[in-house]
Amino acid sequence: MGFSVYFQSTEPVSETVAAKVVAATDQAAGERSWLSCEPIFPTLQEDGHLWGGSKVTFEPDPLDIESAEQEGLPNGTIADVIQLLCDISREHGIDWEVGHDFGELGGIHNGIADPEMTQAIDALALTTEELLSGMMGESYGDDEEDDDGPPDILRFPG
């Protein structure tokens, strides 16, 4: 079962601007491992709108996990996709409509994502990171030292 997030510019863009956006997303694609979702590669549609999507990955292929561990790049999440769209919005004056397989999520205007959309995307990114962390072992994405001691026990008052 897959789940995808889609985006489209709210207005048509020139071929020059589209080329700059594609260059920015191509560069961003090489800066992360993208285990939690696909990187974005927007395309210019016949009507002049930029359109694209990213499929969220809940269970990456073990070979992809191994390759990502060897590369040492940070994992790209759906939250990173939204941040990239915000950056593009700010840099190129493009507003975005964002949705998913089941409907609308919100938009990005003047480089700022709708708060409700950000909350939903952050929850989705956290879920995929937690699943991936379990597949890759405790060290993935964990910046804290593990003391290998017993788990903390919470004491109830009384």
* pLDDT for position 48: 98
Amino acid at 68: A
What pLDDT sits at residue 150? 55
151 domain-assigned: no
- pLDDT bin (cut points 50, 70, 90) of residue 151 is low
- Rounded-to-integer distance, Cα 29 and Cα 33, Å: 8
Please report whether residue 147 resides in a domain. no
* Angle between helices 115-136 and 62-71 in degrees, nearest 10: 100
Q: Which residue reads 């409907």 in tokens?
A: 103
- Is residue 105 included in any domain, yes or no? yes
Q: How far is CA 94 from CA 1, 15, 87, in A?
A: 31, 13, 10
Query: At residue 137, does pLDDT exceed 80?
Result: no
How many independent structural domains does the chain possess?
1
Average pLDDT estimate for 74-103: 95
Per-residue pLDDT band at 138 (split at 50, 70, 90)? very low
> Does residue 31 sit within a domain?
yes
pLDDT at 128: 80
Mean pLDDT score, 138-149: 47
Residue 22 lies in a domain: yes
The domain containing residue 29 runs over which residues?
Answer: 7-136
Residue 1 placed within a domain: no
In a domain, 71, yes or no: yes
Share above pLDDT 90 across residues of the chain, in percent, rounded to a whole number:
58
What is residue 144's predicted lDDT score, i.e. its pLDDT? 45
Task: Give the pLDDT mean for 33-42.
Answer: 92
Assess whether pLDDT exceeds 60 at residue 63.
yes
Mean pLDDT of the chain: 86
Residue type, 124: L
Does residue 120 form part of some domain? Answer: yes
